[in-house]
Amino acid sequence: MSFDLERPWRLHRQVALRPEPFGALAYHFGNRRLSFLKTRKLLAVVQALGEHPTGRDACRSAGVGEDELTAYARALEALAASGMLVERESR
């Protein structure tokens, strides 16, 4: 399963994000998993997800270039797989 950039996503309600100089840490209180976001830009994408109609829009708003999209989709997929991100009801 790969991350669907055309769908709306958000951070799971039980996930806390902690910015760090080199990215961020994400902790899921439900499944107690800790993830390490390696760039600040990825943090910006994750924070933007809830406010954009699609994952692609969130990436764009955070300044992710076309050439980086595949890499970012892969990172988002990993976050979704560990329960950090969930799909929103689409309108």
Partner 1 sequence: MSQTVTRGKRLVDHFEIGLDAPICLTWELTYACNLACVHCLSSSGRRDPRELSTAECMTVIDELQRMQVFYVNIGGGEPTVRRDFWDLLDYATGHDVGVKFSTNGSRITAEVARRLAGSDYVDVQVSLDGATAPVNDAIRGAGSYATAIRAMERLAEAGMRNFKLSVVVTRNNVPQLDLFAAIADRYGAQLRLTRLRPSGRGADVWDALHPTAAQQRQLYDWLRERGERVLTGDSFFHLAAYGDPLPGLNLCGAGRVVCLIDPVGDVYACPFAIHDAFLAGNVRTAGGFTEVWRHSELFTRLRRPQTGGACSSCAHFDSCRGGCMAAKFFTGLALDGPDPECVLGHGESLLALRGSEPAPRPAADHSRAAVNHARRPAPACDESPLAGLEVIR
DSSP structural state of residue 50: G
- Contact segment (CB under 8 A) with partner 1 among 4-12, 24-32, 49-57, 61-69 equals 24-32
Residue 5 in contact with partner 1, rule: CB under 8 A: no
Residue 2 in contact with partner 1, rule: CB under 8 A: yes
Report the SS3 class of residue 28. Answer: strand
Tokens representing 15?
A: 């996930």
Report the SS3 class of residue 71. Answer: helix
**Which residues here bind partner 1, judged by CB under 8 A?**
1-2, 14, 16, 18, 20-22, 25-27, 29-30, 32-39, 42, 71, 74-75, 77-79, 81-82
